[in-house]
Amino acid sequence: MNNSSCPSVNFDFTGRFLPPVYILVFIIGLVANGWGLKSLLHNWKKLKIINVFALNLGLADILYLLTLPFLMVYYFKKSKWIFGATFCKITRFCFNLNLYGSIGFLTCISVYRYLAIVHPIRVMGRLSLSHSVAISVMVWLLVSIQSLPDMFYPKTYGNSTGKCYDTTNNNNAKDYLKYSFGWTLTGFCIPLLITLGCYGHVMVILCHTNTTDKVLKQRSLKLLFILILLFSVCYIPYHVFKNLNLLARVLSKQGICHEWFNRVYIAHEISRGLVCLNSALNPLVYLHGIEDIPAQLSQLLQQTRQMYNRRFLSNPSSVSTAQTTTEV
């Protein structure tokens, strides 16, 4: 339908939905990433190539998690940004570094797994820690270059207190839509295709090779499941609805209105909540991409069980209860 005035969008949904998600992600993300990074640094001398990528993945998560308290205040104040225009841009820049840095390092992990399983003879011994460090620096540089143009778009609206847009204001939405399409292609679609290609080939090799170690096969399947979960839940919906919402804003400014505008806005806000979950889900990669941590988990559970048994056996009331039961 074409009207001069479009129907109002339900902006109140954002204030009700995002703050609880941010609180949950902040708590779980800090605990999980903090523990994962501590384990990595504790075993620094045993650091392996894939662990370097996991370390950078955790640093990207921590960088974003530290900005969440400011976003909580923003939405609790009914979308009134009180921290200044510069810090608004920094906050959004940290989100982009986390999002596309996570995608980049997950892609690096996928490529390394592919090379280690499909071409072990050619690769083993040729790739070193220095190579993985250099690749990590390149990922950070590429992500920063991709995210830098976003900093030049207006992010705030109003004087002392106002909006802090995750994209830009309506006056610049048309230009931002073109940038967003290109960003989605280079920062998301290409890494997604690389990841799918690597793990698709890995699964074919593992399924058709009877000599493959069962533990390696199980870990590869679990890591593939985690990556599918991350891309399906966190990354794909966000990029689809981000661009659709920008398109709706551009059409609305031109006086072209459709009934799906409000539904796309709500879907985009839900996808924003889902995409920040990647900071809480990324530590799952530590469990299957890093060899030392599963052993640490097993040891921690064993120590907890032994501590519980000692306390139970040393408790006089428990012993007397057990003796009474035996006598009866």
The full 3-state SS of 250-310, as one line of letters, equals HHHHCCECCCHHHHHHHHHHHHHHHHHCHHHHCCHHHHHHCCHHHHHHHHHHHHHHHHHHH
The per-residue pLDDT for 321 is 45
> What six digits make up the tokens of 25?
């992600």
The per-residue pLDDT for 319 is 41
H or E element that contains 3: none
Which among 290, 303, 318 is positioned nearest to 37, based on CA atoms? 290
CATH homologous superfamily for 12-298? Rhodopsin 7-helix transmembrane proteins (1.20.1070.10)
> What six digits make up the tokens of 131?
């190579």
The per-residue pLDDT for 187 is 95
Q: How far, in Å, are 3, 246, 250, 260 from residue 256 at the CA level?
A: 6, 13, 9, 12
The per-residue pLDDT for 3 is 47
H or E element that contains 24: helix 12-42
DSSP per-residue letters across 67-91: THHHHHHHHHTTS-B-S-HHHHHHH
The values of phi and psi at residue 121, to 5°, are -70, -40
Mean pLDDT by 10 residues, the chain (328 residues): 60 88 95 82 69 88 94 90 92 95 92 82 76 93 95 80 87 95 96 91 77 67 81 94 95 87 93 94 70 49 63 52 40
> What six digits make up the tokens of 158?
């109003």
Instruction: Tell me how far apart the alpha carbons of residues 288 and 215 are, in angstroms, rounded to a whole number.
Output: 11
The amino acid at residue 219 is: R
Is pTM beyond 0.85 here? no
Instruction: Tell me how far apart the alpha carbons of residues 193 and 184 are, in angstroms, rounded to a whole number.
Output: 12
Q: Where are the domains of the chain?
A: 12-298
Long-range contacts, stretch 239-242, CB < 8 angstroms, 24+ apart: 239/184, 239/188, 240/271, 241/267, 241/268, 241/270, 241/271, 242/167, 242/180, 242/184, 242/268, 242/271
